Chains A and B, each alone.
Chain A
């Protein structure tokens, strides 16, 4: 790719319009992340319909900024009320809350902000560095290799998420089935349309994602809501001593190796499809604690604990775009939602993106780096205000979120039919959560089904239906062997006993 395209892309990110949406996205993300019970996925699902009228770069920059802001905001309730605003920040409670209890809540929030921005920036740089060369390699693959790669991706994702690989694969099969509604790509005949012309284009992804990720959660919370549910009481953020409110460079640099290792762990975890920010945070915290000379200091308000959790969970955000941008495979739900947002704007993620939409991609990279700075600026000013958001009553938050979802889907996904699909998806999501079936596997399968079917169709045309032809494609064979190995290794994982089905589904 030529330098002019790269520079043009980066300069696109600096237009006032895009900068405004980046700052808005970061702010919205931080606020939603700070509200216990709402999470980044809900925010992304709700935000997608709002981006329909925006141009592609502004829309994607906004959504990525929401994602980035959410990881920062999630630490606020983790520190102030010992309740992570988002699952990603769960490990931050271990040392963030004790530090707040010691009278240093602002200091703890600033530690989390700075290390979070560091981890995020690190993984963005890795993404920018490795994605173009990886895409070049991916471009050399034909339909047979792509088909084999998708089989590998599914075997890894379903093996890593949820309670067990079998349940993960059942959820994926359900996703394939739901995705087959609409016109078949081979013959152009209708499938499962029940005579409704509106279903010929398939089920609207926006309605499905909003239903499963946001509305399902909102319905469940409203169904559980009981009289007199009090708002959480946040620790006071004011303290007399300035040292308790600020973090010096010296204090930050004291944990530089912890933060660096955490960022590496987060980047690695983020690049593997199926693993998420929460895993990165816990793994990094655990490794940091085990390798410390004084592990007993952890859990008492040690800044290393905050650095380990926040740098790792934020480093996942950039890295999980690596498989999405280079191979077109979303590694988690946030990436799947970004894929859907790109597709809504007529952009198909994958290696061709670098060839055909180079300016957009580098605009996106520029926007990601700007979003990190915006995260720092908005967080620096907003942290004390987000402390009030923590205490907002659920009786306002959930009805408001419901109305926002209903309105957004009505506008963007075909009116009443879109809303019916949204509610249907919410009910399906609820049943899947109760049964411990992974929603990640379902949504990734739904998003990838079109590509998978198209690759299967091309493979059949190339091989003339003779599957032994695959033996002449060594890369495809290697990927299929890897798939079998991953099924054997990950499939032997024991079902997680005692795990709450809802948690498993969201994993």
Chain B
């Protein structure tokens, strides 16, 4: 039952948070009479509250949630990608890209030597060559 209304509850909650905390703390005005910079975010916040309230009332189909392992693995891959991004400049693109591919291919259980070699070596080197030499955009 709650699952059918979670979108509405979340929308109202986000809208209220924006009006009470998010907008006052993060939007400043220099006091001139032209359109208030907070107007647009406030319209968005009020829309969320109004529409969220409607969504709570009308409900909707039950949300089909995936098994817990999926969002966990999703978060791991997302974390790995951000980690790789942080390491590009200190370690260099190719080293980090190969490392990222090694971890990803281990996560998805690929064991066939040809495909492992393709993903871990040919893909990073191919992409590096493409950016560095074909379109001449230097990578770290």
Interface set of A (CB-CB < 8 Å, partner B): 50, 52-53, 163-164, 166-167, 169-170, 172-174, 176-177, 180, 184, 186-194, 215, 219-220, 222-228, 393, 395-396, 398-400, 402-404, 406-407, 410-411, 415-416, 419-420, 423, 426-427, 430, 434-437, 449, 453, 456-457, 460-461, 495-501
Contact for B51 among A173, A189, A404, CB less than 8 A: A173
Query: What are 25 A-B interface contacts by the 8 Å CB criterion?
Result: A52-B137, A163-B60, A166-B51, A170-B7, A170-B11, A173-B44, A177-B45, A180-B40, A186-B36, A187-B30, A189-B30, A219-B78, A395-B105, A399-B105, A402-B104, A406-B84, A406-B85, A410-B88, A423-B78, A426-B78, A437-B7, A456-B39, A496-B61, A498-B61, A500-B64
Interface of B is mostly: helix
Q: Which chain B residue has the least Cβ–Cβ distance from A400? A: B123
> Considering residues B37, B97, B135, which has the most beta carbons from chain A within 10 angstroms of its beta carbon?
B37
A404→B81 contact, CB < 8 A: no
Q: Which chain A residue has the least Cβ–Cβ distance from B109? A: A227
Measured between beta carbons, the chain B residues less than 8 angstroms from A172 are 47
Contact for A169 among B37, B51, B66, CB less than 8 A: B51
B139→A411 contact, CB < 8 A: yes
Q: How far is the CA of A187 from the CA of B31 in the complex (A)?
A: 9
Please name the 8 residue pairs, one residue from A and one from B, whose CB atoms are nearest each other, closest first. A184-B37, A223-B73, A419-B85, A395-B110, A173-B47, A225-B108, A177-B44, A227-B109
B71→A395 contact, CB < 8 A: no
Measured between beta carbons, the chain B residues less than 8 angstroms from A406 are 81, 84-85, 97, 100
B95 at the interface (CB under 8 A from A): no
A495 with B71, Cβ < 8 A, contacts A186-B35, A187-B32, A411-B131 known: no
Q: How far is the CA of A172 from the CA of B40 in the complex (A)?
A: 13
> Which B residues, 31 to 78, have Cβ-Cβ distances below 8 Å to chain A?
32, 34-41, 43-45, 47-48, 51-52, 54-55, 58, 60-61, 63-66, 69-75, 77-78
B91 at the interface (CB under 8 A from A): no
B139→A423 contact, CB < 8 A: no
Q: How far is the CA of A404 from the CA of B89 in the complex (A)?
A: 17
B6→A435 contact, CB < 8 A: yes
A-B CB contacts (within 8 Å), total count: 211
- The smallest beta-carbon distance between B47 and chain A, in angstroms, is 4
Known: A187-B30, A187-B35. 20 other contacts (CB 8 A): A53-B136, A163-B60, A164-B58, A166-B54, A169-B47, A177-B48, A189-B37, A191-B28, A192-B22, A194-B26, A219-B77, A219-B78, A225-B109, A396-B123, A411-B139, A419-B82, A423-B78, A434-B63, A434-B65, A457-B34
A223→B81 contact, CB < 8 A: no
Measured between beta carbons, the chain B residues less than 8 angstroms from A457 are 34-35
B81→A419 contact, CB < 8 A: yes
Measured between beta carbons, the chain B residues less than 8 angstroms from A456 are 35, 39-40
Q: Which chain A residue has the least Cβ–Cβ distance from B73? A: A223
Measured between beta carbons, the chain A residues less than 8 angstroms from B58 are 164, 166, 495
**Which bucket holds chain B's interface residue count?**
35 or more
Q: How far is the CA of A189 from the CA of B31 in the complex (A)?
A: 10
- The smallest beta-carbon distance between B29 and chain A, in angstroms, is 6
Q: How far is the CA of A411 from the CA of B60 in the complex (A)?
A: 42
Contact for B119 among A226, A227, A395, CB less than 8 A: A395
B7→A495 contact, CB < 8 A: no
> Considering residues B29, B44, B55, B136, which has the most beta carbons from chain A within 10 angstroms of its beta carbon?
B44
A173 with B48, Cβ < 8 A, contacts A395-B108, A406-B84, A426-B78 known: yes
Contact for A176 among B22, B44, B60, B63, CB less than 8 A: B44
Q: How far is the CA of A419 from the CA of B108 in the complex (A)?
A: 22
Q: How far is the CA of A180 from the CA of B55 in the complex (A)?
A: 24
Q: How far is the CA of A395 from the CA of B69 in the complex (A)?
A: 19
Measured between beta carbons, the chain B residues less than 8 angstroms from A497 are 61
Measured between beta carbons, the chain A residues less than 8 angstroms from B32 are 187
B34→A395 contact, CB < 8 A: no
Contact for B137 among A399, A402, A411, A496, CB less than 8 A: A411
Q: Which chain B residue has the least Cβ–Cβ distance from A395? A: B110
Measured between beta carbons, the chain A residues less than 8 angstroms from B29 are 187, 189
B27 at the interface (CB under 8 A from A): yes
Measured between beta carbons, the chain B residues less than 8 angstroms from A225 are 107-109
- The smallest beta-carbon distance between A208 and chain B, in angstroms, is 15
B2 at the interface (CB under 8 A from A): no
Q: How far is the CA of A187 from the CA of B27 in the complex (A)?
A: 11
Measured between beta carbons, the chain B residues less than 8 angstroms from A411 are 131, 137, 139
A170→B48 contact, CB < 8 A: yes
B101 at the interface (CB under 8 A from A): yes
B81→A395 contact, CB < 8 A: no
Contact for B35 among A398, A419, A460, CB less than 8 A: A460
Q: How far is the CA of A496 from the CA of B61 in the complex (A)?
A: 8
A435 with B127, Cβ < 8 A, contacts A170-B55, A396-B119, A399-B105 known: no
A436 with B63, Cβ < 8 A, contacts A190-B28, A223-B77 known: yes
Measured between beta carbons, the chain B residues less than 8 angstroms from A499 are 61
B74→A219 contact, CB < 8 A: yes
A402 with B81, Cβ < 8 A, contacts A190-B28, A219-B74 known: yes
B48→A174 contact, CB < 8 A: yes
- The smallest beta-carbon distance between A213 and chain B, in angstroms, is 16
Measured between beta carbons, the chain A residues less than 8 angstroms from B11 are 170, 173
A393 with B74, Cβ < 8 A, contacts A406-B81, A436-B7, A460-B35 known: no
- The smallest beta-carbon distance between B132 and chain A, in angstroms, is 10
- The smallest beta-carbon distance between A446 and chain B, in angstroms, is 11
B82→A420 contact, CB < 8 A: yes
Measured between beta carbons, the chain B residues less than 8 angstroms from A410 are 85, 88, 139
B37→A186 contact, CB < 8 A: yes
- The smallest beta-carbon distance between B2 and chain A, in angstroms, is 13
